[in-house]
Structure 1
C-alpha cells in the first residue's frame, strides 16, 4: 500500500540509529509476565519480516489514525464553509468578530496543547485520544444551539479545549510504532487526511447548506450537527480499537488473535528501539530535567519559529478561500465546491514530496518546495489587476491554496533531532502549539477593510514565506556545522575518555558530542 516505505538500509542484527556513535544499549521487553515475551539484543529478523510487520501496522493502525484525523479536520475547517453560508449574518456579527473568535480559538488551543502529552502519558494515548474525540464531538453539534456572539465564542473556546490534545497525542503515539525514516511520509498522510477532510467538507456543505430551513435550522448548523455525529461514531469505535502497544493488539474490535504474532511483536518493538535508543524510555514520565532541557534548547526554539511563521500564511487563504471565490461572482454552493481541488492537489504533492524526503533525506530542500510554491502564489494574487476575470483569479487562488504542506516533514525532522524522549515529548506538544498560536495573528491578516482582494494581507504572506525559507536554510546549515565540529571533538578523545564521557553525559540527549543531527 502507499504508506509502506521500509528503509533500504535496514540491518536486522544491529542498530540502524546513525545519530549515535556509541553502541546502542541492550533492549529488553516483557509481555505481562509471559516468558515468551522476553526479548534481548541478540534477536534478529529478515528485511522481509519487517516489511510484513510494517504493512500490518499501516493497514490496521495507520489507516484508523487517518480516519480519526480526517474527522478532526472536518470539525476544524467547517467554520470556513459556515462563513460562506452567512454564519456572521445569522448571528448578527461581522467577519471581524469571526476573526476575533478564531484568534481566541487558537490562543486557547495552544494553552491546552502544551500539557497534553503529559496527560496522554499518564492516561495512555489509546484512551486519551477517544476521550478527546467524544468531547469535541459534543461541542461540535452544540453549534446548532447558538444564536449570538456570546454563544458562538463559548463553543469556539470549548472546542479549542477539547481538540487541543489530539494531534500531540497522535504524534507521540505514532512515534512509538514507526521508525524515524518512516514518519515523514506517514505524517504527510496524517496532514493529508486533514486536507482531504477540508475538501470533503466543501463537497458536503454543497448539499447540506440546501437543508436551510429544515426544523428551523440554518444550513451551517446542519453541517456542524452532521460533523459532530460522525466524530461521535469514530470516537466510540476508537475506545475499543486503539491498542496500548504492539504487545496488546488482541481483544476488542481488533479480534481475539490480534494483529501480530509473538515474533512479530518482538520485531515491532525492537525495530523501534534499535532505530532510536531513546524510545526504550517511551513510557517514562516527564521529568524536571526534560522541561529544563526543552526550554533551553535553542534548536527547538528555531523549529518552533519555523512552524509559527511558516504555517501562518495557510490560515487566511484557507479560511477565506470560499469567500474569495464567492466574491468574484460564484454562488455560495459553487464556491464551496470549487475549494475541493486545492485540498486534493495539496494532498497529492505533500505525500509525493514527503515520500521523496524519507527515501533521499535532505528534508529542508524538500520542505522549501512548499514555501516557494506559496510565495509564488501570493505574488500572483498581488500582481493580478482588479479587472481580471473570475476564472483567472480563481486559478491563482487555487494555486496558492494548493501549496503542499511541509509540516509533517518538519515535525519528523525536529523529533529526530531532539533527545531524550521526555524532552521530545514536550517538543511534539510545543510544535503543535506553535502551529496553532500562529492563528492569533494569522486570523488578522485578511481584514474586512482589505477585502475583497486582500492585497495588504498578501504582501504579509509573501514576507512570511520568504522568512521561512531563510530559517530552514539557517537551521540546516547550523546542524551541519555542529555535526562537523562534534565529529572533530570526538576524534580527539581517547577510547577511555569516550567511555567516561558516555557515563557522565548519558542524560544530555542531543547535547552530547556523539549525537549526530539529521539533515
Structure 2
C-alpha cells in the first residue's frame, strides 16, 4: 500500500532585528526544528532485522521513518483525535533507534502473538476434532451417513458465516480483549457437551452452535493484532498465527491416538472423551485470556498487572511507529462501535469485491480432499490409530508451504503471485486423482491426497491483503468480516461436492474441482490487472495536479479509506 503525499519545502532561514540586543538574529521554520529522521528503509519483506541488514543500517541509528506527521500541514490533517485511546502518547517529534524497535517487536511477539497462537490452537482443536472422531466409528455410533456429516459441516459453516459481521460489531463496541475470551468460554462449553451426543439432531445442533460461537474469532483476532503491528509486520505474523492451525492438526492426531484408547471406559466411546477433554482445555484457555489480553499498547496495566508491560517511552515508540506506518489506525478508538450507514458503505465498496470473490473460491479445489482425508484412509483399510497418524505428513507439508508463501509474498512484494501458487499446486494433483480407479494402489492414492491436503495455505496472505486494501480501521473491521464470510460460504460449497452416491472415487466431484481450480487461475490474473489499472489511473490524476491542488485535496476531501486518490492498492 502506498500513500502519496505532498512534500512541502522547508521554510528558508530568515533574519530579524532584535531591538534589545541591537543585532540581527536568525530564525528557522517549524520543520527545521524537528529532530532528524532515520534513513528510509525498504518496506519489502524479510522481517525488520532482515530489512536492516539488506539496507546496511546501523541498529543504533534513528529508526523513525518519514511520514505525514513530519509536515505541519499534513500533521494537522492526520493528527489523532482526542478520543483515540493512545492519543496521549502521540508525539510527532518522537525518535527511537532500530535496536529499541526490534526489542519491542519481539516483546509484542512473546506477549501478544504467542497467546494469539495458543487461542487459535484451541479453536482448531474444537472445530476439527470431528475428523479424529470419524476414525472411531463416530457416524456409525450416531446412526448417521456421509450426507448427514456433510449437512453438519454445512450448518457449521453457515452459522460461522452468519456470526462474522455481528461478532465484529460487538467486538468494536466492547473491545476484542473482552469479546474474544467471552466467545472462547461459551463455545468450549458447547464443545465439551458433545460428549452427550445421542443422534443426528443433537449432532446438527451442536455443529450449528459451534459455528455461530466461533464465527467472529478470527477477524476479531486480526483486528486486535493490527493494534500492535505495522502493515509490513502483520502478514508475517498472520502466517505464524495460522501455523498454529497446522500444529493443532499434528498435535490433535497424537492426542486422539491416546484419548481414543479410552474407548469403553465407563461404557462410553472414545470419541466422546475426545470432545470432553479438548473442550475442557479450550475452556481453560478462554478463562486465562480474560487476563492476558490488554485493550491496547498503552492499556496494559490492571489490578493483577500493576506495572503493565511497557514503560512510558516504550508506549510512545509503539504508538508512533504504528501511526507513522498507518495514520488511519487512529480513526476509531477500541471501544467505538460502527453505524449502520458505515457498514452499508463498506459493503458497497466494489474495489474490494475481487478479493471477496477469491475468498469464496480459492479453497474449493482442496477443501473436499482435506475434509475427507481421515474417512478416505479408513476406506483404504487403515485402522483408527494409523488413520490419525497418517494425517501428520500433510500437516507438516502444509505448515512449511504456508511459511514459504507468506515469506515469498513479502520478498517479491506481490500478493497475486504468492497466492496463485495454491491453484497451480492443486491442478495437476486433482487431474491425477481424477484418473485413479479401484485398482490404484492405496499408497499411491495416499501420496497424492497427502500432497493435495499439504497445499500452500494462502488464506493468511489474503486476509492481510484485504486488510491492507481496505485502508482505514472503520472499513478494515467490516472488510475482514465480509472476506471471512465469503471464505465460509466457499466452505459450504465444497462441503457438498463429495456425495455418498459418488463414493469412493468421487469422479464427478473431482471433475468439478478441476474446473473450479482452472477458473481460479483466471480470477487471480484478472485481479492483478484490476488493481494495477486502478493504481495507474490514480497516478495519472495525482501527478497532473499542482502541489497546491494536492494540498487542497488533502485538506478538504470527503473521500474515505481506499476511495482517497492518495491511496494505492496492493496486488
1:107–1:436: 8 Å Cα contact kept in structure 2?
A: yes
Which of 449, 471, 474 is the equivalent residue of 1:397? 449
- State the Cα deviation string for residues 459-513 of structure 1 (Å, max 9, x = none): 2222222222222221121111111111111111123322332234244221121
1:245-260 → structure 2 map (5 Å cutoff): 245-251=296-302, 255-260=305-310
Instruction: Using the TM superposition, give the Cα deviation of residue 225 of structure 1 relative to its aligned residue in structure 2, in angstroms.
Output: 0.6
Q: Which residue of the partner structure matches residue 204 of structure 1?
A: 255
Paired position in structure 2 for 1:518: 570
1:105 and 1:438 map into 2 onto residues whose CA distance is 12
**Deviation larger for 288-297 or 142-151:** 288-297
Q: Is the 8 A contact 2:373 2:391 kept in 1?
A: yes
Deviation of residue 252 (structure 1)?
6.2
Task: Kindly report which structure 2 residues correspond to 1:220-239, keeping only aligned pairs within 5 A, or say none.
Answer: 220-239=271-290
- Aligned residue number for residue 482 of structure 1: 534
Which residue of structure 1 lines up, in the alignment, with residue 181 of structure 2?
130
Partner of 2:326: 276
The corresponding residue for 1:499 is: 551
Per-residue deviation at 1:411?
Answer: 1.2
Is the Cα–Cα contact under 8 Å of residues 195 and 275 in structure 2 kept in the other structure? yes
Please say if residues 4 and 54 of structure 1, whose CA atoms lie closer than 8 Å, have aligned partners that are also in contact. Answer: no
Secondary structure in 2 matching 1:41: coil
User: Larger radius of gyration, structure 1 or 2?
Assistant: 2
Please identify, of 469-478 and 391-400, the stretch whose mean Cα deviation from structure 2 is larger: 469-478
Give the stretch that moved more between structures: 215-224 or 312-321.
312-321
Specify the alignment match of 2:315 in structure 1. 265
**Equivalence map 1:272-311=2 (5 Å):** 272-283=322-333, 284-311=336-363
Q: 1:76 corresponds to which residue?
A: 127
| SS at structure 1 position matched to 2:318 | helix
- Number of matched pairs: 512
Stretches of structure 2 that go unaligned for 5 or more consecutive residues are: 1-45
Instruction: State the 1:204 CA deviation.
Output: 1.5
The secondary structure found in structure 1 opposite 2:278 is helix
Alpha-carbon distance between aligned partners in 2 of 1:107 and 1:381, rounded to the nearest angstrom: 29
Contact in 1 for aligned 2:171/2:179 (Cα 8 Å): yes
CA distance in 2, matches of 1:511, 1:31: 24
Q: TM-score, normalization: structure 1?
A: 0.93
The one of 493, 505, 511 aligned to 1:459: 511
Measured on the aligned residues, the alpha-carbon RMSD in Å equals: 2.4
| CA distance in structure 2 between the partners assigned to 1:348 and 1:429 by the alignment | 27
1:305 to partner: Cα distance: 0.9
Q: Residue 27 of structure 1 contacts residue 40 of structure 1 at CA under 8 Å; is this kept in 2?
A: no
3-state secondary structure, aligned to 2:382: coil
Deviation at 1:439, TM superposition (A): 2.2
With normalisation by structure 2, the TM-score equals 0.85
d(CA) in 2 for partners of 1:500, 1:33: 29
Q: Larger deviation: 92-101 or 373-382? A: 373-382
CA contact (8 A) 1:31 1:247 kept: no
CA distance in 2, matches of 1:33, 1:179: 17
Corresponding residue SS for 2:570: coil
Q: Distance in 2 between matches of 1:34 and 1:209?
A: 49
